[in-house]
Structure 1
């Protein structure tokens, strides 16, 4: 193939079945969910402003409007993922049924438009046995290319070993786990919420960057060395902290200050270079992209838009103006995603 041509593959593109949105509406009416959920989805489902209304409409559309938006932006292919918080705020029975429904909806969209969509599996993380069974079904029968983890599950993180069998299944199936932000838990949201910082402006990065560090320091990647994890927004700032993270991890292990902080086989930064991939979702910023490429490796950084939450058609053009040659641009927009998600279209 001519290296000057490539498909632009966007790898963090959200959708939501109408049934899930209606479930969220019921939860809001009944006062269910934590403060972050009430804040985020109370806004999107309750506001009359144009932007939240357009986001909700686009989340539920896996047809004409989404395809038109992709064409307007120059996106050739989307990797679909169930929007945050997905099933994570639901009771186990509802989470199981909603994950199955979401996977069927996404699989139908892929069948309808196989050249335009692939999808990540949704699972009920609250029920690890069911999550494993659904992940296996989604990958082996529906052809899905990974699994979405919408961060904490009602305040519990994936460093908790009850979730590790699901991570083991992802490693065995050779599919990546996409760690996507959720709103901060009630234990950390209050100072963010009172300043209006609990969402994408900062709270998501605080919550998800911490989650990724918890996964690393718990020894997940020593236990599952071939597990692949994808994180958006250029790594939620962690690439900018690599030397400091390594220094104080070593110091805290040596001091024995924290029972949870154990010695690892490698430095934390080594796992961030070996097991983690970084998408540019919501971060169409040349200095940041080039910096992250320089510290984690150019083969770890790939394109995503964060549709429909941050739908900015011109960002594709801006990222095509990165100081990269034709081969590097093809890798950034297509090659890395194709290998990471085992795409065949």
Structure 2
């Protein structure tokens, strides 16, 4: 069975040397050993990455520049230049290993027209399968009216946007004071990125752009498990902005999810019950998560053959327009 992993990070030493903030994830407490593990693997494609993929049966990684990436306080001018450099670099990597890697574009969201133009270039000229953005850019979220052209371009190109955590926080959460363990992937990233996705939903982005698809990692940043509450609370809101559908109806249609970083058959079973297997895609979160436990957890999940194939590769092949594959191919 083919296995396609959608949230797999890389870095570019030359670009990181010029803009050190591109790989600075801030005050997240990690062990020195883990820091070295990640630092060695991020810029590598062939010495460690491909052998690990082979060892655990991962056929394709969809690569994206590591967080915080271009959202790390760059000026608009620098972000435009860095995005072009990063995307050209990744295109060369994919060209060297076209059967094993695909690409998500990095985008200069500091300049919305330039972001739309770079997305079009990356898809139409470089062959990328979509884009990945690391949450907000400064204090600007993607429901800002200035991004309407970007959403139109995304819809026209018929590619997804992966909304990933990792941007420098727009504000300090007092709940993390004295408890740094909550910062980052343990808690704040999921709440912040899930909140960003809800801003898009409630502001009507998906009503104005019904063909737009947003991908959330980490089993959907809590959202699949909140659908009934979203609907019940929406029904009690004071008159104001209205949606074409109930909030839950956008999750599983416009908003898709991956398994990245959540190695839990129980959570996967709940997500399938909530939004359906057609809206779920396999991912690892390499090198921040370990490939072996991720593939083992997926293999151990109680899934029908049809659902397992959808999540492992079928949904990615359809969404990203990757070459279909069969057991007999």
Give me the TM-score of the superposition, normalised by structure 1: 0.88
Following the alignment from structure 2 to structure 1, what is the Cα–Cα distance between the partners of residues 186 and 117? 36
Match 2:136 to one of 152, 157, 164 = 152
Offset, 1:101: 1.1
Task: Please identify runs of 4+ aligned residues in structure 1 that moved more than 3 A.
Answer: none
Q: Which runs of 5+ in 1 are unaligned?
A: 1-5
Partner of 1:3: none
Pairs aligned (count): 322
Match 2:33 to one of 46, 50, 53 = 50
Offset, 1:179: 0.6
Tell me whether 1:133 sits opposite 2:134 in the alignment. Answer: no
Q: Are the equivalent residues in 2 in contact too, given 1:183–1:203 (CA < 8 A)?
A: no
Q: Deviations over 1:223-268 (max 9, x none)?
A: 000101111111111111111111212312xx24xxxx51111111
* Secondary structure of residue in 1 paired with 2:245: coil
Following the alignment from structure 1 to structure 2, what is the Cα–Cα distance between the partners of residues 328 and 191? 39
Q: Are the equivalent residues in 2 in contact too, given 1:184–1:207 (CA < 8 A)?
A: no
Normalized per residue, the structure richer in helix is 1
Offset, 1:302: 1.4
Offset, 1:329: 1.6
Partner of 2:286: 307
* Secondary structure of residue in 1 paired with 2:117: helix
Following the alignment from structure 2 to structure 1, what is the Cα–Cα distance between the partners of residues 281 and 250? 18
Offset, 1:24: 4.5
1:30-49 map, 5 Å: 37-40=25-28, 49=32
1:273–1:314 CA distance, 2 compared to 1 (3 A): closer
Q: Are the equivalent residues in 2 in contact too, given 1:302–1:337 (CA < 8 A)?
A: yes
1:297–1:327 CA distance, 2 compared to 1 (3 A): closer
Q: Which runs of 5+ in 2 are unaligned?
A: 325-329
Partner of 2:260: 281
Partner of 2:304: 325
Tell me whether 1:262 sits opposite 2:222 in the alignment. Answer: no
Tell me whether 1:223 sits opposite 2:208 in the alignment. Answer: yes
Partner of 1:343: 322
Q: Are the equivalent residues in 2 in contact too, given 1:184–1:198 (CA < 8 A)?
A: no
Following the alignment from structure 1 to structure 2, what is the Cα–Cα distance between the partners of residues 51 and 73? 20
Give me the TM-score of the superposition, normalised by structure 2: 0.92
Q: Are the equivalent residues in 2 in contact too, given 1:183–1:199 (CA < 8 A)?
A: no
1:1-345 map, 5 Å: 6-25=1-20, 27=21, 37-40=25-28, 49-89=32-72, 90-183=74-167, 185-192=169-176, 194-196=178-180, 197-252=182-237, 255-256=238-239, 262-344=241-323
Offset, 1:73: 2.4
